């Protein structure tokens, strides 16, 4: 055999590995792998949270869930100033924005009736002439924006708008209308014109169409019965700022009667009247954040309130 020929396996012997060095290297690799795994999980959580926020505050906001901040004390102690809540906008169905169907036109002479918030026998007949029978509980709401007037009746709301010399009656496209607002619901809504405000309100429903609501000595009576046992209400009987007396009033179709849980410190339906169902944005269901701007640094974040389900 020639001297320069290589024999398989006859190369220089490999150095013997240092067991301690190998073990240390393996341990380092394991630590790095664990670190990468934790980082991956952390990034995954960040992605999930980001997607959730995009859904809640972006694509889902117009139809499904929207976030709101509590600015006043009218719902204490159920909701505190600085609470941030989530509202299910689909709970009472979804009104598709900007989609309205023209039903018919009415005589412009009825504008004065609408401005007074009344449905005269003649206006009722005008609707009947166009195949719409309004119930005795139908009510008119005067709107600040959008439609000039709303007539709420049973399961439908008629939007009435004036264009030039014509007054047209329209119906919004409303879908998923499976649940109705009920007594006890905490809900967010656009205030009626009489409230003199434009920002959203949050109250509790205490009366639905057909109920007769009365207030005596600050106490709520529904259909002649004193309502007691409402554990969520807060009272200031010695220094009330809300109306303490209100004669019996029937809640018209297409409307609800709203009151704040802070019964003696709330501006609500006792002051500015019924809430048109057309104005309802959804039902509040959870507190997702709570920040007390007046508290010290230790107590600014109200951890115990985060994630609380509203009842």
Query: Does the residue 100 lie in any domain?
Result: yes
Domain span at 35: 18-59
Do 285 and 199 reside in the same domain of the chain?
yes
Q: Tell whether the model's pLDDT for residue 27 goes beyond 60.
A: no
Do 212 and 149 reside in the same domain of the chain?
no
Choosing from 146, 175, 204, the residue where a domain stops is: 175
Query: Does the residue 158 lie in any domain?
Result: yes
Q: Tell whether the model's pLDDT for residue 82 goes beyond 50.
A: yes
Q: What is the pLDDT of residue 283?
A: 93
Q: What is the pLDDT of residue 7?
A: 34
Do 162 and 271 reside in the same domain of the chain?
no
Query: Does the residue 187 lie in any domain?
Result: yes
Do 101 and 88 reside in the same domain of the chain?
no
Query: Does the residue 135 lie in any domain?
Result: yes
The number of folded domains in the chain is 3
Query: Does the residue 130 lie in any domain?
Result: yes
Q: What is the pLDDT of residue 192?
A: 82
Q: Domain of 183: which CATH number? A: 2.10.109.10
Higher pLDDT, 194 or 12: 194
Closest CA to 88 of 278, 281, 277, 283: 283
Query: Does the residue 10 lie in any domain?
Result: no
Choosing from 152, 175, 198, the residue where a domain stops is: 175
Do 296 and 197 reside in the same domain of the chain?
yes
Q: What contacts 174, CB < 8 A, 6 or more positions away?
A: 93, 94, 95, 96
Confidence of residue 118 (pLDDT cuts 50, 70, 90): confident
Q: What is the DSSP string of the chain?
A: --TTPPPTT-SPPPPPP-HHHHHHHHHHHHHHHHHHHHHHHHHHHHHHHHHHHHIIIIISTTTTEEEEE--SSTTTTTS-TTEEEEEETTBTBEEEEEEEEEEEEE-GGGHHHHHHT---HHHHHHHHHTT----TTBEEEE-SSSSSEEEEETTEEEEEEEETTEEEEEEEEEE-------TT-EEEEPPPGGG---S-EEEEEEE-TT-EEEEETTEEEETTEE----TT-B--TTS--S-S-EEEEEPPBTEEEEE-SBTTS--SHHHH-PEEGGGEEEEEEEEEEEB-TTS-TTTSB-GGGTTPBP-
Query: Does the residue 122 lie in any domain?
Result: yes
β-sheet bridge partners, residue 100: 172
Do 186 and 275 reside in the same domain of the chain?
yes
Interior/surface letters 90-121, b for 16+ CB within 10 angstroms, e for the rest: bbbbbbeeeebeebeebeeebeebbeeeebee
Per-residue pLDDT reduced to its tens digit, 29-43:
555 566 556 556 666
Per-residue pLDDT reduced to its tens digit, 258-306:
999 999 999 999 999 999 887 888 999 999 999 999 888 888 999 999 9
Do 214 and 76 reside in the same domain of the chain?
yes
Nearest-Å Rg of the Cα atoms of the chain is: 31
Q: Tell whether the model's pLDDT for residue 134 goes beyond 50.
A: yes
Choosing from 121, 147, 175, the residue where a domain stops is: 175
Do 123 and 158 reside in the same domain of the chain?
yes
Do 171 and 186 reside in the same domain of the chain?
no
Tokens 């007769």, located at residue? 212
Query: Does the residue 199 lie in any domain?
Result: yes
Q: Across the chain, what does the average pLDDT equal? A: 82
Do 165 and 124 reside in the same domain of the chain?
yes
């Amino acid at each position: 055999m020639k001297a320069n020929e290589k024999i398989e396996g006859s190369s220089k012997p490999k150095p013997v590995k240092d067991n301690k060095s190998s073990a240390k290297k393996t341990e380092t690799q394991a630590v790095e792998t664990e670190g990468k795994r934790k980082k991956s999980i952390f990034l995954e959580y960040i992605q999930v949270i980001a997607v959730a926020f995009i859904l809640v505050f972006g694509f889902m906001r117009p139809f499904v869930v929207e976030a709101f901040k509590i600015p006043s004390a009218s719902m204490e102690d159920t909701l505190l100033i600085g609470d941030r809540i989530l509202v299910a906008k689909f709970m009472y169905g979804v009104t598709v924005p900007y989609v309205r169907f023209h039903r018919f036109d009415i005589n412009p002479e009825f504008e004065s009736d609408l401005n007074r918030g009344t449905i005269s026998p003649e206006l009722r007949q005008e609707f009947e002439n166009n195949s719409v029978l309004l119930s005795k509980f139908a009510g008119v709401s005067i709107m600040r924006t959008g439609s000039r007037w709303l007539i709420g009746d049973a399961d439908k709301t008629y939007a009435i708008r004036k264009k030039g010399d014509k007054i047209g009656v329209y119906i919004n496209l409303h879908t998923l209308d499976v649940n109705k607002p009920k007594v006890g619901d905490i809900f967010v809504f656009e205030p009626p014109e009489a409230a003199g405000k434009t920002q959203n309100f949050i109250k509790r429903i205490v009366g639905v169409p057909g109920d007769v609501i009365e207030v005596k000595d600050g106490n709520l009576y529904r259909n002649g019965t004193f309502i007691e046992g409402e554990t969520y209400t807060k009272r200031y009987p010695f220094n009330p700022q809300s109306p303490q007396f209100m004669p019996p009033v029937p809640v018209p179709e297409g409307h609800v009667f709203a009151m704040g849980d802070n019964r003696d410190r709330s501006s609500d339906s006792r002051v500015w009247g019924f809430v048109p169902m057309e104005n309802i944005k959804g039902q509040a269901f959870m507190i997702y954040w709570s920040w007390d701007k007046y508290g010290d640094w230790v107590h600014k974040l109200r951890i115990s309130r985060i994630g609380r389900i509203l009842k």
